[in-house]
Structure 1
Amino acid sequence: MPRSRRTLGSRAASVAASSLVVVLLAGCGGAPEQAVPDTAPAGPTVRNCDVDVPVERPGRVVAMFHNAVEAVLALGAGDRLVGAAYLDNPLLPELAGGFHPEQDRPIYWPEEYPSREEVLRVAPDLVVSGFTGAFTREGLGTRADLAGTGMDSFLFSSYCPSADGGGQTELGAVDVSLAGVERDLTDLGRLLGAEDRAAAITGRMRSTLDDVARRLDGVTERPRVAMLNSPGQTGELRVFGSGDIATTIIEAAGGTQAFPEIDGRQRTVSTEGIVAARPDVIVVPACCGVDKGPESAAPLVERLRADPALATVPAVRDGRVYTTTFAEVSPGIRNADAVAALAGRLHPERVSGR
């Protein structure tokens, strides 16, 4: 069904075209900032991070960040994906066939946020983001800004900001549960007109999680797990702390967070901090690029193993430093399999061979 806001073609495209002129003129001091409409959607909506998103099947979609791109593809909307940004790792093999950036299907921005003007040019009806950084003034603009140009938006609820336009350090009432991820996929499926696909995806996820929970029933020893990476060229170590989907995955896999006092994702941690935390297991998520599989984390694994300051840390001493991918530990379609894989490493006597 076409979107109700379209008349004489795509309203999103026409509003985006006029908005592009406004944006470009404003950059030269030639026009004031466009006012944002204050009208509520007339039809059914999905409530998403305190924003009511109209349930109107979009014809053109932009997805920001790996988890959003994979969700859109998995929900069968690859033919409507006109723009994508930031793949952290290779796409799942079953999804890669629907992604052709070499043919601009979709247009792909690999390393930096596209400018607001670039996104306006592809005239999406819906912008889906896996992280709130896309919906800031430094990114594409706030969700209200995008609504003013005819674009709806959807954000994974693990990263709801405290107010529209807030970044990753300004999170509000987030939901980092696996049930929350399933709800997000259900809601996104409804927005994309793909309810049956969403139900199939979440059903498989729930079956995997229930199987792992059954196998771990009665486990009393829960290893302390640290998820660490070292983005960029600085060499600093960062931890995936509490209040993040990574901790949810650790706990569902039969572990405990080694850094419960550190809140949030990718917080800087010192070597001394790792020694004090004494993790039994260290997991290193590989990032960032379409060619960065789990083996890309091997250099950091070797660095941790070779650091004499970490020699007494149980994970290093006992050879329990493993790799995964950033995509596994971001909210999305891979989370249930990530739980199963980690459970197999933490409790191989119960979960191996599932």
Structure 2
Amino acid sequence: MNTLNYAQRSARRRLLASASLMTGASLLLAGCGTGVSASDTDADAATETVTITNCGRELVFEQTPKSVVSLMPSQTDLLLRLGAQDRLAGQAQVDTSDLPEDVAELAADVPVISTDAPPAREETLAVSPDLVVSPTEYEFTAEQGYASIEQLAENGAQAYVSTGGCSDRRSSAEVADLFVDIENLGKILQASDEAEALAADAQKRLDAVEKAIADEDRLTVAEVWVDGNLFGAIGAGIEYDIIREAGGENVFDPDAPEFADFFSAEINPEEIISRNPDAIVFGTTNNTKREQVLKYLRATFPDVTAVKEDRLISVPHSDFYPGTVGNIDAVEAIAAELYPSAF
């Protein structure tokens, strides 16, 4: 890893941390084209108007949302940590990943509107949301039968997409985008105290990883996926930045042609053999899938350093979604596997 770039990222994170703890004007939001305005000097939540820029759209909240729908467990987790459990009118895709144990009980009574795919338009609109929160813009694809952003607006609801999941940001997303989402949703939900505490804790955890691995010689890492007979690599986006934050040097480059249009690409296994990474990272949805991928990697790459030294690192797939506290979990987990003696 380039030392100067690593130091620059560290300085940026410290700036983000201090910005997230400020009251009044926020440097973090200003840097992302986001602002907050009040209709009067009163701090009354019922009269404060919040204006947020999200995926190039201006969202104006004249009232605090009272009926919120989360389209992914990763976003449900974030909303619960911001104290929004009493406002959740629906949670979706609940079978794709489990909520962390420390917040799962808070969602026990939240209506489930879909299990393993985004909810159909009718399912979302049936709970009369005024705010719908999603990890990416895909969950608002009308052609798939989902409620589009325009259809939600026609029914009195606004859509918030995680900063790293905006279509023009997905391939360049960073872990730091999570701080934007925490700040934005904290403002929208009138939960600034919870947002400040959550951002401070996330930054503390990132700083702890950085300090622990500061003197470690960097290991090379490939992040891959296996889907039946298909094999691919992830070389850009939030996944790439998680590897960097964990102290790994990704063997794939975001500027490479195969990642020009998308953060992931199907590749020939020979690419992994020729690059010979010290570690291989992959996302999994359950233990059965994890064992299948491990079996494939060991059989396909027996002479690659990552396999020979048994440095095959699985991470819950949901921890790679944009706009989730799981991004921090992934950084910690990968760093601990890469540099166990540092922790």
- After superposition, the C-alpha distances for 1:206-233 in whole angstroms (9 at most, x for unaligned) are 00111211222244x32221222334xx
Selected match of 2:245 from 243, 252, 259: 252
| Partner SS for 1:107 | coil
CA contact (8 A) 1:278 1:314 kept: yes
Q: How far off its partner does 1:136 sit?
A: 2.1
Instruction: Kindly provide the CA deviation profile for residues 85-139 of structure 1, in whole angstroms up to 9, marking residues without a partner as x.
Output: 2243221001110223xx6x22231122221122111110000001120122234
Match of 1:239 in 2: 233
Q: Distance in 1 between matches of 2:305 and 2:315?
A: 19
Which AA in structure 2 matches 1:97? E
Give CA-to-partner distance per residue, 1:271-305, whole Å, 9 cap, x none: 22222332211122112xxxx3x664122112211
Residue 344 of structure 1 is matched in structure 2 by 336
Give the distance between the partners of 1:172 and 1:333, measured in 2 at CA: 18
Q: Structure 1-normalised TM-score? A: 0.75
Rate the CA distance shift 1:301–1:198 in 2: closer, same or farther, 3 A: same
Task: Measure the CA separation in 2 of the matches of 1:270 and 1:82.
Answer: 45
Q: Distance in 1 between matches of 2:294 and 2:187?
A: 41
Instruction: Name the structure 1 match of 2:57.
Output: 51
How far apart, in 1, do the equivalents of 2:226 and 2:197 lie? 35
Are the equivalent residues in 2 in contact too, given 1:295–1:323 (CA < 8 A)? no
Aligned residues: 291
Secondary structure, in 3 states, of the residue corresponding to 1:67? helix
Aligned: 1:129 with 2:127: no
Superposed CA deviations along residues 191-211 of structure 1, whole A, max 9, x for unmatched, are 122111111111111001112
Q: How does 1:194-343 map to 2 (within 5 A)?
A: 194-219=191-216, 221-231=217-227, 234-242=228-236, 244-260=237-253, 261=256, 262-263=258-259, 264-287=262-285, 292=286, 296-307=289-300, 310-331=301-322, 332-343=324-335
Bigger-Rg structure (1/2): 1
Aligned to 2:3: none
- Maintained 8 Å contact 1:223/1:256: yes
CA deviation string 1:132-179 (max 9, x = no partner): 201222343442332222111101111212xxxxxxxxx358762222
Distance 1:217 1:345, change over 3 A: same
What is the TM-score normalised by the length of structure 2?
0.78
**Residues 108 and 235 of structure 1: CA distance in aligned 2, closer, same or farther (over 3 Å):** farther
Task: Give the conservation status (yes or no) of the 8 Å contact 2:69–2:129.
Answer: yes
Does structure 1 retain, via aligned residues, the 8 Å contact 2:67–2:131?
Answer: yes
Matched residues in 2 for 1:253 and 1:172: separation? Answer: 21
Matched, 1:193 2:168: no
1:94 paired with 2:102, answer yes
- Percent identity between the two aligned chains: 28
Q: What residue identity is the alignment partner of 1:211?
A: A
Q: Deviation at 1:267?
A: 2.7
Give the conservation status (yes or no) of the 8 Å contact 1:284–1:322: yes
Runs (4 or more) in structure 1 with deviation over 6 Å come to: 1-4
Query: Counterpart of 2:82?
Result: 75
CA-atom RMSD, angstroms? Answer: 2.3
What amino acid is the match of 1:251?
R
The alpha carbon displacement at 1:2 in A equals 7.8
Contact kept, 8 Å, 1:2 with 1:58, in 2: the verdict is no
The unaligned stretches of length 5 or more in structure 1 are 5-41, 162-170
Residue 109 of structure 1 corresponds to 114
Structure 2, gaps ≥5 residues long: 1-43
